[in-house]
Amino acid sequence: MQIIKTLVGISLLTWISMVSSSDPPTAYEMLEKFNFPKGILPLGVKSYTLHEDNRFEVYLNGDCKFEIENGGYSLNYKKKISGKVVFGDLRELQGVSVKILFVWVSIGEVRNRGDGKMEFYVGPLSASFPVSNFEDCPQCDCKNRDYTNQMVLDS
């Protein structure tokens, strides 16, 4: 009987240490849980906060600009990105803008339509792009780059 108690105790301690040592999900993994590809965020996320009401903040190493290949668009991510996330929908976005012609305009909402397309809203206008365009996280032209989270490219 004592051996069984000892084995149960060791098993319980092992299970507790495995559960408590697991790392919290990265911002990229959280996006995937809400049905978004990780590539809608650039590399270089320092931290993020997801509140109980699904409001979020994502913090990058610095402001981030890059060109979208095969689209002719420039994107700008501020050091802090915020909004609200529900399954397949990023709403009330702040900190993300796109250059259209010569003007930077804010992207207010992003939807994963479920048909292989992502819809990006700039005010009442929208444009859709294949989800496959966002499989890999883009690299920024950030001055303070620190891409210690390179593992997101492999997951």
Q: How far apart are CA 55 and CA 91, in angstroms?
A: 9
Report the CATH fold assignment for 27-153.
Answer: at5g01610, DUF538 DOMAIN (2.30.240)
List pLDDT tens digits, range 53-78.
999 999 998 898 887 766 677 889 99
The Cα-based distances of 61 to 42, 82, 85, 145 in angstroms read 10, 15, 22, 6
**pLDDT given at position 3:** 58
Query: How does pLDDT run along the chain (155 residues), one tens digit per residue?
Result: 555 544 444 444 444 444 444 788 999 999 999 999 998 898 889 999 999 999 999 999 889 888 776 667 788 999 999 999 999 999 999 999 999 888 999 999 999 988 989 999 998 889 888 888 888 787 776 443 333 333 232 22
Strands 109-112 and 45-50, how do they pair? unpaired
- Which residue ranges make up each domain of the chain? 27-153
